[in-house]
Amino acid sequence: MKWYHYIACFFAGMFLANTVPHFIHGVSGDAFPTPFSTPPGKGLSSAPVNVYWALFNLIIGYILFRAGKISSKNIPALIVMFLGVIFISVALSYGFQDKMTH
């Protein structure tokens, strides 16, 4: 694999992990921060905006998943993808931990 496949793997993990909170909040009818809220990432966006943002993340994540040649037989690619999942998950947990207190 080329070096850029690993970058695609890492970002695939990030985008796919970011799908989850936005999709869950959106289909539950809850407001949640998105890049489109005011201020971006801090204010709350409507449930439909969160569903659209989740679907966008899912599509980009899937494209990067394919570009990164991720499969159960490509263990290094899987590891890099899961590093992307871990990175964005931990970063967002710190970033959103006080969103309900504002």
Where in the sequence is the domain holding 85, given as residue range(s)? Answer: 3-96
pLDDT at residue 99, rounded to an integer: 64
- Residue 102 lies inside a defined structural domain of this protein: no
Structure tokens at 4: 């850029």
- pTM of the entire structure? 0.89
pLDDT digits (tens, 9 = 90+) for 36-80: 998 888 889 999 999 999 999 999 999 999 999 999 999 999 999
36 within domain boundaries:
yes
Q: Where are the alpha helices (DSSP H) in the chain?
A: 3-27, 47-67, 75-96
On whether the CB atoms of residues 16 and 78 are closer than 8 A, the answer is no
How many domains does the chain divide into?
1
At 2, list the tokens. 């080329």
Stated length of the chain: 102
HSE-CB of 50 using CA atoms within 13 angstroms: 21
Q: Is 101 domain-assigned?
A: no
